[in-house]
Structure 1
Amino acid sequence: MQVGQSSPRVFLLSRRSQDAHQLHRQWLTAIILEAGSGGDGLVWGGVQPVLSKTTRVCSYDRAGLGWSESRPGTRDADRIAGELHELLHQAKVTGPFVLMGHSVAGLYMRDYISHYPTDVAGIIFVDSVLPSPSRKSGTNWPLIMTAVSRPVFILGIPRLIGACSHPKPGFDVSTGILQREDVCHTEYGTCLDELAGR
Protein backbone atom coordinates (compact mmCIF):
# COMPACT_ATOMS: atom_id res chain seq x y z
CA MET A 1 0.00 0.00 0.00
CA GLN A 2 1.51 3.31 -1.04
CA VAL A 3 1.10 5.97 1.63
CA GLY A 4 3.28 8.77 0.31
CA GLN A 5 3.81 10.55 -3.00
CA SER A 6 7.00 12.44 -2.19
CA SER A 7 10.43 11.18 -3.12
CA PRO A 8 11.65 8.92 -1.63
CA ARG A 9 8.34 7.09 -1.74
CA VAL A 10 7.04 5.52 1.45
CA PHE A 11 5.45 2.08 1.51
CA LEU A 12 4.05 -0.05 4.27
CA LEU A 13 4.38 -3.73 3.53
CA SER A 14 2.26 -6.11 5.57
CA ARG A 15 2.98 -9.70 6.46
CA ARG A 16 0.73 -11.46 8.93
CA SER A 17 -0.60 -8.11 10.16
CA GLN A 18 2.88 -6.86 11.02
CA ASP A 19 4.15 -3.86 9.11
CA ALA A 20 7.68 -3.20 7.95
CA HIS A 21 8.48 0.36 6.99
CA GLN A 22 10.65 0.85 3.97
CA LEU A 23 12.02 3.89 2.16
CA HIS A 24 12.56 3.22 -1.48
CA ARG A 25 13.95 4.92 -4.61
CA GLN A 26 13.98 3.46 -8.10
CA TRP A 27 17.16 3.82 -10.16
CA LEU A 28 19.78 1.28 -11.18
CA THR A 29 21.65 -1.32 -9.15
CA ALA A 30 20.30 -1.10 -5.63
CA ILE A 31 22.29 -0.34 -2.52
CA ILE A 32 20.55 -1.73 0.55
CA LEU A 33 21.31 0.28 3.70
CA GLU A 34 21.30 -1.64 6.98
CA ALA A 35 21.42 0.37 10.23
CA GLY A 36 23.46 -0.63 13.26
CA SER A 37 22.09 -1.92 16.54
CA GLY A 38 19.01 -0.01 17.67
CA GLY A 39 19.07 2.18 14.56
CA ASP A 40 16.37 2.63 11.96
CA GLY A 41 16.31 3.95 8.40
CA LEU A 42 16.57 7.55 9.61
CA VAL A 43 20.26 7.11 10.43
CA TRP A 44 20.95 7.07 6.69
CA GLY A 45 19.19 10.44 6.19
CA GLY A 46 22.40 12.21 5.19
CA VAL A 47 23.78 9.37 3.05
CA GLN A 48 20.73 8.12 1.17
CA PRO A 49 19.99 11.33 -0.79
CA VAL A 50 23.59 11.56 -1.97
CA LEU A 51 23.75 7.93 -3.09
CA SER A 52 20.33 8.13 -4.74
CA LYS A 53 21.68 10.63 -7.28
CA THR A 54 23.50 7.81 -9.04
CA THR A 55 21.78 4.57 -8.05
CA ARG A 56 18.74 3.02 -6.45
CA VAL A 57 18.96 3.14 -2.64
CA CYS A 58 16.76 1.36 -0.12
CA SER A 59 16.75 1.77 3.64
CA TYR A 60 14.28 0.25 6.04
CA ASP A 61 13.37 -0.21 9.68
CA ARG A 62 14.01 -3.68 11.05
CA ALA A 63 11.15 -5.25 13.02
CA GLY A 64 10.71 -3.42 16.33
CA LEU A 65 12.58 -0.30 15.19
CA GLY A 66 11.36 3.00 13.75
CA TRP A 67 7.96 2.56 12.14
CA SER A 68 8.11 -1.24 12.00
CA GLU A 69 6.16 -3.36 14.44
CA SER A 70 7.93 -5.86 16.66
CA ARG A 71 7.85 -9.53 15.77
CA PRO A 72 7.91 -12.36 18.27
CA GLY A 73 10.88 -14.67 18.40
CA THR A 74 14.64 -14.50 18.37
CA ARG A 75 16.29 -11.42 16.84
CA ASP A 76 19.41 -13.14 15.57
CA ALA A 77 21.30 -12.64 12.30
CA ASP A 78 19.52 -15.55 10.57
CA ARG A 79 16.11 -14.10 11.36
CA ILE A 80 17.07 -10.55 10.39
CA ALA A 81 18.63 -11.71 7.09
CA GLY A 82 15.52 -13.75 6.28
CA GLU A 83 13.21 -10.82 7.00
CA LEU A 84 15.30 -8.53 4.80
CA HIS A 85 15.24 -11.09 1.97
CA GLU A 86 11.47 -11.34 2.26
CA LEU A 87 11.04 -7.56 2.36
CA LEU A 88 13.22 -7.06 -0.73
CA HIS A 89 11.25 -9.75 -2.57
CA GLN A 90 7.92 -8.09 -1.64
CA ALA A 91 9.25 -4.70 -2.77
CA LYS A 92 10.49 -6.24 -6.05
CA VAL A 93 14.07 -5.17 -5.37
CA THR A 94 16.07 -7.70 -7.34
CA GLY A 95 19.73 -8.53 -7.13
CA PRO A 96 22.45 -8.53 -7.46
CA PHE A 97 22.64 -5.52 -5.18
CA VAL A 98 25.15 -4.02 -2.77
CA LEU A 99 24.65 -4.35 0.98
CA MET A 100 25.94 -1.43 3.05
CA GLY A 101 25.78 -1.79 6.81
CA HIS A 102 26.92 -0.02 9.93
CA SER A 103 28.19 -1.62 13.14
CA VAL A 104 26.36 -4.85 14.02
CA ALA A 105 24.70 -4.79 10.59
CA GLY A 106 28.00 -6.19 9.30
CA LEU A 107 27.04 -9.47 10.98
CA TYR A 108 23.59 -9.36 9.40
CA MET A 109 25.10 -8.73 5.95
CA ARG A 110 27.53 -11.65 6.34
CA ASP A 111 24.61 -13.87 7.27
CA TYR A 112 22.54 -12.60 4.33
CA ILE A 113 25.36 -13.45 1.92
CA SER A 114 25.74 -16.94 3.38
CA HIS A 115 22.03 -17.65 2.73
CA TYR A 116 21.49 -15.69 -0.51
CA PRO A 117 24.88 -15.39 -2.27
CA THR A 118 23.45 -14.76 -5.76
CA ASP A 119 21.53 -11.71 -4.50
CA VAL A 120 24.68 -9.81 -3.53
CA ALA A 121 27.13 -8.06 -5.87
CA GLY A 122 29.18 -6.53 -3.07
CA ILE A 123 29.27 -5.37 0.51
CA ILE A 124 30.32 -2.14 2.18
CA PHE A 125 31.17 -2.31 5.88
CA VAL A 126 30.79 1.01 7.70
CA ASP A 127 32.62 0.74 11.02
CA SER A 128 31.44 -2.85 11.20
CA VAL A 129 31.81 -5.25 14.09
CA LEU A 130 33.46 -8.60 13.57
CA PRO A 131 31.99 -11.96 14.52
CA SER A 132 32.29 -12.23 18.28
CA PRO A 133 35.10 -14.33 19.73
CA SER A 134 33.27 -14.18 23.08
CA ARG A 135 31.58 -17.52 22.49
CA LYS A 136 34.98 -19.19 22.29
CA SER A 137 36.31 -17.44 25.39
CA GLY A 138 33.24 -18.20 27.48
CA THR A 139 32.51 -14.50 28.12
CA ASN A 140 28.92 -13.64 27.29
CA TRP A 141 29.37 -10.00 26.22
CA PRO A 142 25.78 -9.55 24.99
CA LEU A 143 24.52 -10.59 28.43
CA ILE A 144 26.96 -8.23 30.15
CA MET A 145 26.03 -5.38 27.78
CA THR A 146 22.34 -6.02 28.43
CA ALA A 147 22.81 -5.98 32.20
CA VAL A 148 24.74 -2.69 32.06
CA SER A 149 22.75 -1.00 29.29
CA ARG A 150 19.24 -1.61 30.59
CA PRO A 151 19.44 0.67 33.67
CA VAL A 152 21.57 3.24 31.84
CA PHE A 153 19.01 3.68 29.06
CA ILE A 154 15.91 3.36 31.23
CA LEU A 155 17.23 6.16 33.45
CA GLY A 156 17.99 8.26 30.36
CA ILE A 157 21.67 8.73 31.22
CA PRO A 158 22.83 9.21 27.58
CA ARG A 159 20.28 11.98 27.09
CA LEU A 160 21.21 13.64 30.42
CA ILE A 161 24.90 13.82 29.50
CA GLY A 162 24.13 15.09 25.99
CA ALA A 163 25.21 11.95 24.14
CA CYS A 164 22.06 11.63 22.02
CA SER A 165 21.25 12.76 18.51
CA HIS A 166 23.30 15.87 17.96
CA PRO A 167 22.28 17.42 14.63
CA LYS A 168 24.62 16.68 11.75
CA PRO A 169 24.69 18.62 8.47
CA GLY A 170 21.70 17.54 6.42
CA PHE A 171 19.87 16.07 9.44
CA ASP A 172 18.31 19.30 10.71
CA VAL A 173 14.80 18.28 9.64
CA SER A 174 15.09 14.85 11.28
CA THR A 175 16.70 15.98 14.53
CA GLY A 176 13.44 16.14 16.51
CA ILE A 177 12.47 12.65 15.38
CA LEU A 178 15.90 11.27 16.22
CA GLN A 179 15.85 12.87 19.68
CA ARG A 180 12.37 11.48 20.47
CA GLU A 181 13.59 7.99 19.57
CA ASP A 182 16.66 8.10 21.83
CA VAL A 183 14.92 6.38 24.73
CA CYS A 184 12.06 4.57 23.01
CA HIS A 185 11.31 1.46 25.08
CA THR A 186 10.17 -0.57 22.04
CA GLU A 187 13.40 0.14 20.20
CA TYR A 188 15.47 -0.40 23.32
CA GLY A 189 13.95 -3.85 23.76
CA THR A 190 14.62 -4.71 20.12
CA CYS A 191 18.20 -3.48 20.45
CA LEU A 192 18.75 -5.74 23.47
CA ASP A 193 17.14 -8.68 21.67
CA GLU A 194 19.48 -8.15 18.72
CA LEU A 195 22.51 -7.99 21.02
CA ALA A 196 21.43 -11.20 22.73
CA GLY A 197 20.88 -12.88 19.34
CA ARG A 198 24.36 -12.11 18.02
Structure 2
Amino acid sequence: MKRLHYQIHEETMYIVPIDNDGMIESRIGEAYGEGIECRLNPNKVIERNCRSHSQNYHARKDLSRTLTGISSKVPIIIDLFGSYIYFCTHSDRISENNWFNINHIQSYMNDEGMTRVLFSNNEERIIDISYTSFNNQYLNALKLHYKFNQQKEKYQKKEMSMQFQYPTMGRGEAARVNETIYHSYISYINGLEVKREV
Protein backbone atom coordinates (compact mmCIF):
# COMPACT_ATOMS: atom_id res chain seq x y z
CA MET A 1 0.00 0.00 0.00
CA LYS A 2 1.29 3.45 -0.91
CA ARG A 3 1.61 6.16 1.71
CA LEU A 4 0.04 9.58 1.31
CA HIS A 5 2.91 11.16 3.24
CA TYR A 6 6.37 10.16 4.43
CA GLN A 7 8.31 11.48 7.43
CA ILE A 8 12.05 11.70 6.73
CA HIS A 9 14.21 10.26 9.52
CA GLU A 10 17.83 9.27 10.10
CA GLU A 11 17.55 6.02 8.12
CA THR A 12 16.10 7.70 4.98
CA MET A 13 18.72 7.36 2.21
CA TYR A 14 17.01 8.66 -0.92
CA ILE A 15 13.75 9.77 -2.51
CA VAL A 16 13.52 8.98 -6.23
CA PRO A 17 10.72 9.36 -8.79
CA ILE A 18 8.61 6.51 -10.13
CA ASP A 19 6.04 6.75 -12.92
CA ASN A 20 2.60 5.46 -11.99
CA ASP A 21 0.46 5.66 -15.14
CA GLY A 22 1.72 9.15 -15.95
CA MET A 23 1.70 10.35 -12.33
CA ILE A 24 5.10 11.00 -10.74
CA GLU A 25 5.27 9.43 -7.30
CA SER A 26 8.18 8.50 -5.00
CA ARG A 27 10.17 5.48 -4.04
CA ILE A 28 11.95 6.01 -0.75
CA GLY A 29 14.96 3.96 0.27
CA GLU A 30 15.74 3.33 3.91
CA ALA A 31 18.89 1.83 5.36
CA TYR A 32 16.89 -1.10 6.77
CA GLY A 33 14.01 -2.95 5.17
CA GLU A 34 12.30 -2.68 1.82
CA GLY A 35 11.72 0.54 -0.09
CA ILE A 36 8.57 2.53 0.54
CA GLU A 37 6.27 4.04 -2.08
CA CYS A 38 4.57 7.39 -1.56
CA ARG A 39 1.93 9.07 -3.71
CA LEU A 40 3.70 12.43 -3.55
CA ASN A 41 6.48 13.27 -6.01
CA PRO A 42 9.99 13.63 -4.49
CA ASN A 43 9.87 17.44 -4.40
CA LYS A 44 6.57 17.37 -2.47
CA VAL A 45 8.01 14.88 0.03
CA ILE A 46 10.91 17.28 0.68
CA GLU A 47 8.60 20.33 0.88
CA ARG A 48 6.26 18.68 3.40
CA ASN A 49 9.16 17.55 5.55
CA CYS A 50 10.57 21.08 5.66
CA ARG A 51 7.16 22.27 6.89
CA SER A 52 7.03 19.56 9.54
CA HIS A 53 10.39 20.89 10.80
CA SER A 54 9.00 24.41 11.37
CA GLN A 55 9.95 26.13 8.11
CA ASN A 56 8.84 26.14 4.50
CA TYR A 57 10.94 24.84 1.62
CA HIS A 58 11.67 28.29 0.16
CA ALA A 59 13.01 29.53 3.50
CA ARG A 60 15.28 26.47 3.65
CA LYS A 61 16.52 27.23 0.12
CA ASP A 62 17.21 30.83 1.14
CA LEU A 63 19.18 29.63 4.18
CA SER A 64 21.29 27.36 1.94
CA ARG A 65 21.92 30.21 -0.52
CA THR A 66 22.89 32.57 2.31
CA LEU A 67 25.37 30.10 3.78
CA THR A 68 26.93 28.81 0.54
CA GLY A 69 26.25 31.22 -2.33
CA ILE A 70 24.86 28.27 -4.34
CA SER A 71 22.06 29.46 -6.61
CA SER A 72 21.11 26.43 -8.72
CA LYS A 73 19.89 22.99 -7.58
CA VAL A 74 20.30 24.14 -4.00
CA PRO A 75 20.88 21.46 -1.33
CA ILE A 76 18.44 21.57 1.58
CA ILE A 77 18.71 21.25 5.36
CA ILE A 78 15.46 19.57 6.31
CA ASP A 79 15.85 20.18 10.06
CA LEU A 80 17.41 23.07 11.98
CA PHE A 81 20.14 20.91 13.48
CA GLY A 82 21.69 19.91 10.15
CA SER A 83 21.11 16.19 10.63
CA TYR A 84 19.27 15.73 7.35
CA ILE A 85 20.93 17.42 4.39
CA TYR A 86 19.61 16.43 0.96
CA PHE A 87 20.80 17.30 -2.52
CA CYS A 88 18.89 16.99 -5.78
CA THR A 89 19.86 15.93 -9.28
CA HIS A 90 17.63 18.33 -11.22
CA SER A 91 15.91 21.66 -10.83
CA ASP A 92 13.10 21.62 -8.27
CA ARG A 93 10.79 22.77 -11.08
CA ILE A 94 11.01 19.20 -12.43
CA SER A 95 8.91 16.64 -10.55
CA GLU A 96 11.14 13.76 -11.76
CA ASN A 97 13.79 14.83 -9.29
CA ASN A 98 16.04 12.61 -7.14
CA TRP A 99 16.96 13.61 -3.58
CA PHE A 100 19.83 12.03 -1.66
CA ASN A 101 20.83 12.18 2.00
CA ILE A 102 24.59 12.92 2.10
CA ASN A 103 24.96 10.80 5.26
CA HIS A 104 24.08 7.65 3.35
CA ILE A 105 26.24 8.08 0.23
CA GLN A 106 29.09 5.59 0.59
CA SER A 107 30.57 6.06 -2.89
CA TYR A 108 29.61 6.80 -6.50
CA MET A 109 31.18 6.20 -9.89
CA ASN A 110 30.70 6.77 -13.59
CA ASP A 111 28.58 4.08 -15.27
CA GLU A 112 28.35 4.59 -19.04
CA GLY A 113 27.35 8.25 -18.84
CA MET A 114 25.22 7.80 -15.71
CA THR A 115 26.16 7.51 -12.04
CA ARG A 116 26.20 4.34 -9.99
CA VAL A 117 25.62 5.18 -6.31
CA LEU A 118 26.48 2.87 -3.42
CA PHE A 119 24.56 3.61 -0.22
CA SER A 120 25.43 2.95 3.41
CA ASN A 121 23.51 -0.36 3.42
CA ASN A 122 25.40 -1.54 0.27
CA GLU A 123 22.37 -1.00 -1.97
CA GLU A 124 23.31 0.29 -5.44
CA ARG A 125 21.25 2.46 -7.77
CA ILE A 126 22.06 3.78 -11.23
CA ILE A 127 20.94 7.40 -11.55
CA ASP A 128 20.32 9.06 -14.89
CA ILE A 129 22.75 11.92 -14.33
CA SER A 130 26.37 12.32 -15.38
CA TYR A 131 29.10 11.60 -12.87
CA THR A 132 30.32 15.21 -13.15
CA SER A 133 26.88 16.64 -12.32
CA PHE A 134 26.31 14.20 -9.47
CA ASN A 135 29.74 14.96 -8.03
CA ASN A 136 29.06 18.71 -8.23
CA GLN A 137 25.74 18.33 -6.39
CA TYR A 138 27.32 16.11 -3.74
CA LEU A 139 30.12 18.63 -3.15
CA ASN A 140 27.55 21.44 -2.88
CA ALA A 141 25.78 19.46 -0.15
CA LEU A 142 29.08 18.96 1.68
CA LYS A 143 29.73 22.70 1.44
CA LEU A 144 26.32 23.39 2.99
CA HIS A 145 27.04 20.86 5.74
CA TYR A 146 30.40 22.53 6.49
CA LYS A 147 29.09 26.12 6.41
CA PHE A 148 26.05 25.28 8.53
CA ASN A 149 28.17 23.53 11.15
CA GLN A 150 30.58 26.49 11.17
CA GLN A 151 27.69 28.82 12.02
CA LYS A 152 26.34 26.38 14.60
CA GLU A 153 29.73 26.04 16.33
CA LYS A 154 30.17 29.81 16.42
CA TYR A 155 26.79 30.17 18.04
CA GLN A 156 27.36 27.33 20.51
CA LYS A 157 30.72 28.77 21.63
CA LYS A 158 29.03 32.08 22.34
CA GLU A 159 26.26 30.39 24.33
CA MET A 160 28.71 28.14 26.21
CA SER A 161 30.74 31.14 27.33
CA MET A 162 27.53 32.58 28.79
CA GLN A 163 26.85 29.31 30.65
CA PHE A 164 30.27 29.39 32.30
CA GLN A 165 29.35 32.72 33.85
CA TYR A 166 26.79 30.85 36.01
CA PRO A 167 28.68 27.76 37.29
CA THR A 168 26.62 27.24 40.48
CA MET A 169 23.28 26.50 38.85
CA GLY A 170 21.16 23.61 40.08
CA ARG A 171 19.82 20.90 37.78
CA GLY A 172 16.44 22.64 37.23
CA GLU A 173 18.11 25.96 36.46
CA ALA A 174 20.50 24.27 34.01
CA ALA A 175 17.53 22.64 32.24
CA ARG A 176 15.86 26.06 31.89
CA VAL A 177 19.08 27.53 30.49
CA ASN A 178 19.37 24.64 28.00
CA GLU A 179 15.76 25.22 26.92
CA THR A 180 16.52 28.92 26.50
CA ILE A 181 19.63 28.12 24.43
CA TYR A 182 17.55 25.79 22.24
CA HIS A 183 14.94 28.49 21.53
CA SER A 184 17.64 31.08 21.08
CA TYR A 185 19.37 28.83 18.53
CA ILE A 186 16.12 28.40 16.59
CA SER A 187 15.72 32.19 16.54
CA TYR A 188 19.32 32.60 15.39
CA ILE A 189 18.86 30.21 12.45
CA ASN A 190 15.56 31.85 11.54
CA GLY A 191 17.40 35.19 11.70
CA LEU A 192 19.85 33.97 9.06
CA GLU A 193 16.86 33.26 6.82
CA VAL A 194 15.32 36.68 7.51
CA LYS A 195 18.61 38.45 6.67
CA ARG A 196 18.54 36.77 3.27
CA GLU A 197 15.04 38.11 2.56
CA VAL A 198 15.92 41.73 3.50
Structure with greater strand percent: 2
Larger RCO: Structure 1 or Structure 2 (Cα < 8 Å, ≥ 6 residues apart)?
Answer: 1
Same fold (TM over 0.5): no
TM-score using structure 2 length = 0.26
Q: Give me the TM-score of the superposition, normalised by structure 1.
A: 0.26
